[in-house]
Amino acid sequence: MMRTVCLIAAVLLAVAFARSARQVTSLPQFDGNFADLPFNSYSGFIETDLKKGNNLFYWFAESQNDVSTDPLLVWFQGGPGCSGMEGFFVENGPFRFDVETQNLTTNPWSWNRFANVLYVESPAAVGFSYCTVGAPGCATGDFDTAQNNLVFIQKFLSEEFPEFAGRDLWLTGESYAGAYVPQLTHAIIETGGAIAKSLQGFMIGNPVLDCAEGHAGGTPTIDTLTLQLDLWYWHGWVSFRDFKKWDQIGCRARNVNDPIPADCNSHYNQVQDAIGPYNPDDMYSNTCTGNGTLDITATVPGCMSANKLLTKYLNRADVQAAIHAQGPASRPKWETCSNVLNYTSNWVDQLGLYREFFAKRPDFDILIYSGDVDIATVPFAFTNECLDLLDRPVTSKWQRWTVDGETAGFVEEFDRYTFATVKGAGHEVPEYQPQTSFKLISRFLAKAAAKKA
């Protein structure tokens, strides 16, 4: 008995020592400079693949509400190849940049005000994460990423923070996380055990959803070209003559499975060229707002967007030391989205995974939400068309949802999932509408908890 007690004590002591080495106590440029943080947070690397030397960087922000009872949310960024630090500093994390002073301030709409939130840079070669075999590109794909993310969560809960094992677990993210999250959910269910039991569901914004009727972030079809042209036209971006010509040359009458005819493709390209450069993430964006997923928009010389400040900040030696992010010298500099990642999208149709979850885990709570002014990255119209193929019964009809009495979007509940729009939000919903996304997620979690109480 005494030997067992001593062994447990030694394990707990080792965990406490390792944790203290990972704690982030202060940050450069926060509240002046190196001020103490108002909550506990920890960062570092977890090795997920010995053969490839994959090490995933994370930053864990404990809840500012009740650390001991609040759920654990895991956040994955999109891309593939974009960093979870974008979510941490620019979207729903505990800090944000003041673009005038270029200092860090607290984010009043941080999700760690109601949950413990774990931000992951996945896969390797994204952000600070790295591999030692095949570096710097770290060739990978959906299957490997799902397995690496599974190992990451297993090690986080068993070796890093065992007190969170068994806590309500939620997977969250946006954009290409529409692939990451369902694939990781599938891996967790297949593995079984305590993590599968604690997994409550997932919440994804503007998700990639390839489907038979078209795409939401995937391969274009004649159907999705029609949807996109309609979105442009009904927002005043296309002339009536060009809009009418789409019908006149028979593009709208084509079957969804038909190849894209040359004349339709040509006309579509002409329309797009006439629109000119724009930010597909946000119909109303100015040119200082970068495209956080695809990084292709124009910028104004001298414009310091939050993403530019973030890139400058995370490449500072004192910042990397403060957050334990030092890696091998061969690792590329930190970028919002990786320029070296060699990624293969192996898993195309996500809807088959949704049907699997509906059958195997009918207790799951699933939220899909769309910023309604994402005009061309993953617009709500594409998402709705894919989700409609799930053919689930409506349990609460389409209606507005509000924040402080004002319409914040619209929501429709089905027997196995909920779909919501967020008014005035672009592709990265928490970045464009931090308050309403805060309300949407916190209310969804509270409703799920009440249902299971």
| Catalytic positions, written as ranges | 175, 374, 427
Q: Contact at 8 Å (CB) between 34 and 24?
A: no
What residues pair up with 46 in beta bridges, in sequence order?
A: 56
d(CA 408, CA 425): 10
Phi, psi of 47 (to 5 degrees): -80, 130
- Interacting residues of 360 by C-beta distance below 8 A, sequence separation 6+: 189
d(CA 424, CA 440): 14
Query: Mapping DSSP to helix (H, G, I), strand (E, B) and coil, where does residue 317 land?
Result: helix
Q: Contact at 8 Å (CB) between 375 and 231?
A: yes
Q: Contact at 8 Å (CB) between 189 and 202?
A: no
DSSP 8-class letter at 212: T
Q: Which residue has tokens 């009458």?
A: 253
Q: Contact at 8 Å (CB) between 78 and 174?
A: yes
DSSP line for 348-372: -BSHHHHHHHHHH-TT-EEEEEEET
Q: Contact at 8 Å (CB) between 122 and 148?
A: yes
d(CA 94, CA 106): 6
Query: How many Cα neighbours within 13 Å face the side chain of 317?
Result: 1
Amino acid at the residue 13: L
Query: Mapping DSSP to helix (H, G, I), strand (E, B) and coil, where does residue 198 land?
Result: helix
Q: How far is CA 443 from CA 107, 119, 147, 370, in A?
A: 19, 21, 31, 16
